[in-house]
Amino acid sequence: MEAQALQFFIACVTAAGFGIAIAAFGCGLGQGLGLKSAVEGIARNPEASGKVTVTMLIGLAMIESLCIYALVVSLILIYAHPQAAAIAGLFAH
């Protein structure tokens, strides 16, 4: 039973690591594209810089929230799985 719990924990940690890596990569690409488009829009029409900046900041916050959701799911995978007490007992000795 202890070996199964440890294998499950290893799988959860691996999934959490890959999940947050993919989420950070995707959010970085999305934020870069959004910032690029906002700068191009301001360069074409400098009078609209206030509205473009506000809209860009709201969009960047929404994109960043997706990465934070992935972090929360990753932390839940690591710390809130059913065998947490058994695994902590394995490493306590």
Whether pTM > 0.85 for this model: the answer is no
Domain span at residue 78?
17-91
Q: Which residue has the higher pLDDT, 34 or 78?
A: 34
Per-residue pLDDT, 39: 95
- Asked if residue 78 belongs to a domain, the reply is yes
Which pLDDT score, from 0 to 100, does residue 18 have? 95
| 4-39 per-position pLDDT tens digit | 777 888 888 899 999 999 999 999 999 999 999 999
- pLDDT in the model for residue 93: 61
In a domain, 73, yes or no: yes
Q: Is residue 3 part of a domain?
A: no
Q: What is the C-alpha separation between 87 and 52, in angstroms, rounded?
A: 50
Instruction: Decide if 42 is inside a domain.
Output: yes
Does residue 7 belong to any structural domain of this protein?
A: no
Q: Answer whether residue 22 is part of any domain.
A: yes
Tell me the one-letter amino acid at 59.
G
Please count the structural domains in the chain.
1
Q: Would residue 10 count as lying in a domain?
A: no
In a domain, 9, yes or no: no
Examine the pLDDT at 71 and tell me if it is beyond 90: yes
pLDDT confidence of residue 79 = 83
